[in-house]
Structure 1
Amino acid sequence: MTQDKLMMERRMKSRAWWRQRVNFVIFLGPAILLTVFFFVVPVLIDIAVSFTDLGRSLRVTRFTTEHYERVFGGDRRLTDVMALTFIYVLGTLALFNVTFGLVLALITTSIDKVSGGFFRGVWLLPRMSPSVLYILLWVWVVNPSQYGLLNQILMTVFGLEQPLDLLTTAPIALIIISNGFIGASMGMIIFTSAIRGIPEHLFHAARVDGAGSLAIVWYITLPALRWPISFITIYQALSLLVSFEYILLLTKGGPFYDTTVYALYIYRRAFQSGQYGYGAALSLFLIVIGIAVALLGWRFFDMKRLLQNPRIEVQ
């Protein structure tokens, strides 16, 4: 009987082992294949192209390291582009994607559910709308003539004599605001969900103890939003690093290179100038920067604690 039990246990362990492997293939296999096909393979192709003289003719005549020499010292505009990218990412992230998204979540959860849900739905309309339509509205708002919405308000209500031209005088602020307004919607939804998940009795107990609205937000709401804030910060930082769609539609990177962020600079070098090899080298550095930002965010926000095993297992 002892030997039969041992054989039975071995069979059960073998079946469990095979079941784990089959489940791994079924559930994670497609994700791994997609990651390899759409991330790893393109990165390898990008590395290979960056060492060639691939240009508008789409012919490779020689292998070279000139593109990397140009990145490290031959491109005088690259420093200004990197500085602008830092200002754009930090400004949009800090002012809108995190802070303003958090403010919207706090406001819409402090009023009744119907009004809050309606307000969030209205705020989500730009994100659900085509990018061209969203930017078309911004072009109308900041139109430098007297027919622009902003200039109509300033000239009618405040008596401004000459119309403002924000596309020329404040292009960086304009791309930060236009991207921030639509980027805050994601933080608003994530933060709202997290606030709704806070136990109600904590708020009731705080009010019984005499805590005001600001004290409740500071001592109850914000500590409960630590992980959502960490996630939104890292995710939106990476998203802003590689996105340039709204900037291209609104300012086309101008005037001159005044609103050309790093991702848009890669696009202009590769697809407008036909310097595909140099664009591939720049893209490789963008990948490295993205990985560095993700690792720094992971370390700074201590995201490892978020993914650790629970101390108490609920059966």
Structure 2
Amino acid sequence: MRKHKRSLTGYWFILPAAVLVVLYFFIPVILTLGISLTNMSSVTGFSNWSWTGFANYIKILKHPDSGSNFATTLIYVACTLSFFNVGMGLLVAILAHHMPKRLGEIFRSLWLLPRITPPVVYVLMWTMLAADAPYGVINQLFRIPFGLSTSNWLPEYAMLFAVLVNGYIGASFGMILFSSAIEAIPNDIMVSSLVDGASFFNRARYIILPQLKWPLLFVTTYQTLSLLTSFESILILTDGNFGTEVWALWSYHKALNNYYGNFQYGFGAALSAILVFVGVIFAIIYLKYFKFNDLVKEPLIDEL
């Protein structure tokens, strides 16, 4: 009886999280899938719609913008994730760990500034950096001193700025988790490596990285899903112009905000449903690559 009560205790602890997941994930996903099978729009309203089956998905396959928007999304996610969310986050965490404690804390705190700055203010700062003379800082530093003609950098390098804007925000998230994981590595291992004469790169490669499989799996998976579905920074930066119309922003434009005012709720829901499917595929790939089953195995203890 006591063992049965002990087993139930764990379920009580996870119940609040389970309720939140059901309310804010599973139910919205089911509603999105349901709406994607209808012709619901601002024309039909919420009462005169009808079931259309997979008509919206067929429309997506035939749409001329589907291929380019999907490719843009993959490029945006791959570049932001690899260079910033994981790459730079890991680099900052390792560098801060090898600094004096107070200096490392200040260094990590500075990387949190993009995350805590209001999105509109933060994106407008990047817009002003790329602006034409006499306001653009980039022109002031790299073109005017050399007598070169100035221009607005944003239309020319819109995707680069989209990656930079989102990358510096995402790098802080990875930095926090990686820093915590590095601090949890037993100090004896790090001291032993110093005694053995291991260089900075050898410690990072052979000691730190193998200990970060769980954080790497979580950050890579979470940030991939986040990048697939987030679009607010790109919305403020370019509104999808200059080749930055990612899939999530395309869904938003079709369903909730477009020039003609014809809100295609069903079509937008179908676009969102495809993102859910793509996100699940990426998650499965990551679980296989990081060998999730090996990570959750119980540790083997030799019997005496």
Tell me how far 1:287 sits from its aligned partner: 0.9
Distance in 2 (alpha carbons) for counterparts of 1:40 and 1:228:
25
Tell me which of 280, 286, 296 is aligned to 1:297.
286
Secondary structure (helix, strand or coil) at the match of 1:56 reads coil
Match of 1:10 in 2: none
Tell me which of 245, 248, 253 is aligned to 1:263.
248
How does 1:46-195 map onto structure 2 within 5 Å?
46-57=32-43, 58-59=45-46, 60-65=48-53, 66-72=55-61, 74-156=62-144, 158-195=145-182
1:31/1:217 CA distance change after superposition, 3 Å: closer
Tell me which of 221, 237, 248 is aligned to 2:224.
237
Among the aligned pairs, what percent are the same residue? 37
- 4+ aligned runs moved over 6 Å, structure 1: none
- Asked if structure 1 preserves the Cα contact closer than 8 Å seen for 2:166 and 2:233, the reply is yes
Distance in 1 (alpha carbons) for counterparts of 2:75 and 2:92:
23
Q: Flag the structure with larger Rg.
A: 1
Tell me how far 1:78 sits from its aligned partner: 0.7
Once the two structures are overlaid, the 10-residue window that deviates more, 175-184 or 205-214, is 205-214
Tell me how far 1:179 sits from its aligned partner: 0.8
Is the aligned partner of 1:284 residue 2:293?
no
Secondary structure (helix, strand or coil) at the match of 2:146 reads coil
Tell me how far 1:160 sits from its aligned partner: 4.4
Distance in 2 (alpha carbons) for counterparts of 1:210 and 1:19:
49
Q: Structure 2: state its 5+ residue gaps.
A: none
Once the two structures are overlaid, the 10-residue window that deviates more, 145-154 or 258-267, is 145-154
Tell me how far 1:279 sits from its aligned partner: 0.6
Is the aligned partner of 1:28 residue 2:14?
yes
Tell me how far 1:137 sits from its aligned partner: 1.1
TM-score, with structure 1 as normaliser:
0.88
Is the aligned partner of 1:226 residue 2:213?
yes
- Asked if structure 2 preserves the Cα contact closer than 8 Å seen for 1:55 and 1:275, the reply is yes
Tell me how far 1:145 sits from its aligned partner: 3.0
Once the two structures are overlaid, the 10-residue window that deviates more, 236-245 or 206-215, is 206-215
Q: Which amino acid aligns with 2:253?
A: R
- Asked if structure 2 preserves the Cα contact closer than 8 Å seen for 1:98 and 1:187, the reply is yes
- Asked if structure 2 preserves the Cα contact closer than 8 Å seen for 1:127 and 1:185, the reply is yes
Q: What per-residue deviation string (whole Å, max 9, x for no partner) do you get for residues 178-207 of structure 1?
A: 111111011111111122122223233223
Is the aligned partner of 1:207 residue 2:194?
yes
Distance in 1 (alpha carbons) for counterparts of 2:196 and 2:14:
49
Once the two structures are overlaid, the 10-residue window that deviates more, 192-201 or 233-242, is 192-201
Distance in 2 (alpha carbons) for counterparts of 1:201 and 1:24:
34
How many residues are treated as equivalent by the alignment? 295
Tell me how far 1:211 sits from its aligned partner: 2.3
Q: What per-residue deviation string (whole Å, max 9, x for no partner) do you get for residues 201-245 of structure 1?
A: 323322322222222222222222232222211111111111111
Q: Which amino acid aligns with 1:47?
A: L
- Asked if structure 2 preserves the Cα contact closer than 8 Å seen for 1:154 and 1:160, the reply is no
1:211/1:35 CA distance change after superposition, 3 Å: closer
Distance in 2 (alpha carbons) for counterparts of 1:168 and 1:153:
19
